[in-house]
Chains A and B, each alone.
Chain A
Amino acid sequence: MLDLHGFGDQLLQGASITIQLALCSLAVGLVLGLLGASAKLSNIKPLQWIANFYTTIIRGVPELLTVLIIYFGATTVLMSIASVFGYEEYIEIGPFAAGVTALGLTFGAYATEVFRGALQAIPKGQHEAAIVLGMSSQRKFFRIILPQVWRVALPGIGNLFLVLLKDTALVSVVGLEDIMRKANVAVSNTKEPFLFYLVAAFMYLALTIVSMAVVHFLEKRASRGLSRG
């Protein structure tokens, strides 16, 4: 059958790194997306400008370039910030942290648009009902609005996660030991590029299928309170 020359375990370790990177970036991106959407819908002009600037820039620049800028630029930026506070040691940001930052920023920019649409799709009556019941605005947001936003936004967020999952491969360019990197190492040792890149491709495909199933399950769960018309 398939002879991986003992690199199977390595590839599985890479898959674990890929999954960790994807989930961490997802968490960062969801928070950024909610903040971005709230900023875009707020009445405060400067907040709107910042959010628009953020989504325009990030969505217009290649993801690979974002990863490279963060990886090579973050060290300089962080050290100059630290030197303001009198810290002069060398700071280095690893590929994992750079990857989470870059992919989180990218995911957040696209998620901003998804959440904005979802927030606008919540009927005004829901807000009014919560206020009438005497809820504070914080409680209203977490108890009434967010669960409904979640249901409306899920299909869009699910698509974005599939894109994110594939974008994790880019972080191998700056040296993260993910599936791609492990496949590269296996290729340089065995001289069988087609085999190992195809195996890598099918590992990503498997992750995609699993994610699709999870999204489908979550969508079903999120809309359990709704009758099927």
Chain B
Amino acid sequence: MELDFSVVIEYFPRLLTGTWMTIKLVLLSIVLGALVALPIALARISKNWLISGVPFAFIFFFRGTPLLVQIFLVYYGASQFEAVRESFMWPILREPFWCAIIAFTLNTSAYTAEIFRGAIQAIPEGEVEACKVIGMTKAQMYRRILLPRAFGIVLPAYGNEIILMLKASALASTITLLDLTGMARTIIARTYTPIEIFLAAGGIYLVISILVIYIFRQVEKRQNRYLGTLSIKVPDKG
């Protein structure tokens, strides 16, 4: 077997273009996903099943089905309906980029909502009681005590979720997007050097994951600085 890594050098700029697309996909869906996840998590906590039922079904569907199916449902599925093709949404749903963003956002928001829920419920009961004794309203309690506390608890699990999202973003290549994996496949179709190019792409993914882990460790240290040298351990979502 002879590996020729000069193709990697030759096509490295194009791999970097793909990397930029991957980063855009991950950042956008992570930010949007967190925004969608917060109300879902809060509704999911409710003891009234009329309120918690819909978030439960949403989370169950998006965590129980493959992301590939979800992407295809948005990208190919939406175009089945005449009404969608004639609506104002069509310029967005026609673009593979926005379809990937929609699917990723919904998917990651389901996982993130569960992480948020776990964090909110991990706050000791005494702190909730303390808020009530001081006479805070429910909104004040969430805004001043529970959500900032949950943020510190959530960080390790949330870092994991971003890495999972980074890896999941490779699926964008199945709907013609030229992300890192998509770009690698395009290059290979021309050069017939799958091992070299795929290994290079894998290396870039690794570097990004290591960066994410490092950044989160720093933020975690800052956020949980009042705990001294301790850091809070939150069980992985698995």
List residues of chain A with CB under 8 Å of any chain B CB: 56-57, 60-65, 68-69, 72-73, 76-77, 79-80, 155-156, 159-160, 162-163, 166-170, 172-173, 180, 183, 187, 191-195, 197-198, 200-202, 204-205, 208-209
Contacts and interface: CB of A to CB of B under 8 A. Distances in A.
B82 to A, nearest CB: 12
A170 B173 CA distance: 12
Closest 7 CB pairs of A and B: A159-B238, A80-B1, A194-B77, A72-B194, A62-B170, A169-B66, A193-B76
B210 A180 contact: no
A20 B75 CA distance: 28
B79 A180 contact: no
B189 to A, nearest CB: 11
Interface stretch (B44-52, B122-130, B135-143, B200-208): B200-208
Interface string B170-183: 11011000000100
A194 B194 contact: no
Q: How large is the interface on B (under 10, 10 to 19, 20 to 34, 35 or more residues)?
A: 35 or more
Nearest to A207: B64
Contacts of A180: 66, 68-69, 72
Contacts of A162: 64
B167 interface: yes
A65 B198 contact: yes
A114 to B, nearest CB: 9
26 contacts: A57-B202, A60-B206, A61-B205, A62-B168, A62-B181, A64-B181, A65-B184, A68-B198, A72-B188, A73-B194, A79-B1, A80-B1, A166-B64, A166-B65, A167-B66, A169-B68, A170-B171, A183-B69, A192-B80, A201-B69, A202-B65, A204-B66, A205-B60, A205-B61, A205-B64, A208-B65
Contacts of B78: 194
Among A77, A166, A168, A201, the most chain B Cβ lie within 10 Å of the Cβ of A201
B81 interface: yes
Contacts of B195: 69, 72-73, 76-77
Interface string B185-227: 1001000001100110110011001100000000000000000
Given A68-B185, A194-B80, A197-B76, 12 more contacts: A61-B206, A64-B171, A64-B173, A73-B198, A159-B238, A160-B238, A180-B66, A180-B72, A183-B69, A183-B72, A193-B79, A195-B80
A163 B63 CA distance: 9
- Chain B interface main SS type: helix
Interface of B: 1, 60-61, 64-70, 72-73, 76-81, 163, 166-171, 173-174, 181, 184-185, 188, 194-195, 198-199, 201-202, 205-206, 209-210, 237-238
A204 B69 contact: yes
A159 B114 CA distance: 14
B203 to A, nearest CB: 9
Contacts of B201: 65
- Chain A interface main SS type: helix
Contacts of A61: 167, 202, 205-206
B65 A204 contact: yes
Contacts of A56: 206
A62 B148 CA distance: 32
A68 B194 contact: yes
A197 B174 CA distance: 15
A169 B72 CA distance: 12
Contacts of B170: 62-65
A69 B202 contact: yes
B81 A194 contact: yes
Contact of A193 (B1, B77, B181): B77
Contacts of A197: 69, 72-73, 76-77
A132 B127 CA distance: 50
Among A68, A159, A208, the most chain B Cβ lie within 10 Å of the Cβ of A68
